[in-house]
Amino acid sequence: MSSIANTDVRLERVFDPISLATLNAKAEMLERLDNKYVVGAGILHRAAAELARHFDILEIEGRRAFTYETCYFDNSDRRSYFDHHQGRRQRAKVRVRKYVDAGLCFVEVKLKDKRGATIKKRLPYEIGKFGVLDETALAYVDGVYFDQYRHEFPYALERVLDMSYVRMTLVAKEGGERMTIDSGIRFFAPGSSHAINDDHFILETKSANANGIADRILRAMHQHPTKHCSKYCTGIAILNQAPRHNKFLPALRKLGSVPAPQTAKALPGREIEAAA
């Protein structure tokens, strides 16, 4: 039995369920301060009981772990990647995300405000358009970028990276805080792909002040935020899609996936086509 299955069983035992409607009413968190942690299965298992005292788990039709598929868009020079690498405040990540189990799809744009908080804007999208940005989607990206930064979106977009993973979502019983648990992470780019070891999990805490209940529980277990742990940027680095990745090395080391030239191995049955 895999570590993902073991973790899922543990979570089903210790967490109380919460519906999607109640979760959104308590903590939709489209604007938040967040921390990311890379932890092993053992740490997550040990943290589960304490987390369950303070958090419920999203459950939809009896399911508590949900498959996400995401394609990211950047320009040919990887401008979005390097904006993150250089720590620029005015930056954006553009993606189309498919919520596989729910049969939903959104265009999503992640931005930063003046205090460094993450702002996520999203537009419902036809699931059949996953992998492309049509004129409506591009206009939406331009609009939310202009609203935030007061100038036009600066570069043309093409599909550069796909990923998939399984996510569990926790929400604080008192509201105002969320935590996601991602596992089974897979990256796909033209000609290459990579699977993160199933014993590694990316946890993301989302709260008003970046020092919520989950952060304190993890800190008590000697776990500290993993800096520069964007899944998009780590995927680009792992698959050698950009020439520099030193800023992301701490996250890459924790994930056990420091890239080396020509080491990304293809996974069976999945590849994205190079942009025309």
Over residues 90-131, the pLDDT tens digits come to: 999 999 999 999 999 999 999 988 877 889 999 999 999 999
Only one residue has tokens 């940005």, namely 133
Beta bridge partners of 166: 67, 183
SS3 category, 96: strand
Domains of the chain: 3-254 (2.40.320.10)
201 neighbors 38 (Cβ within 8 angstroms): yes
Rounded Cα–Cα distance for residues 241 and 95 (Å): 17
Helix (H) or strand (E) holding 237: helix 231-238
pLDDT for residue 274 is more than 50: no
For 12-70, what is each residue's pLDDT tens digit? 678 999 999 998 888 765 567 889 999 999 999 899 999 999 999 999 999 999 999 99
What 87-93 contacts at long range (C-beta under 8 Å, 24+ apart), as own/partner pairs, is 87/247, 89/114, 89/116, 90/149, 92/141, 92/145, 92/153, 93/230, 93/232
> Residue 7: pLDDT band by 50, 70, 90 thresholds?
low
Rounded to two decimals, the pTM is 0.87
pLDDT for residue 270 is more than 70: no
Q: Residue 80 has what DSSP assignment? A: H
For 225-252, what is each residue's pLDDT tens digit? 999 999 999 999 999 999 889 999 999 9
Residues 6 or more apart from 228 whose CB is under 8 A from it? 84, 247, 248, 250, 251
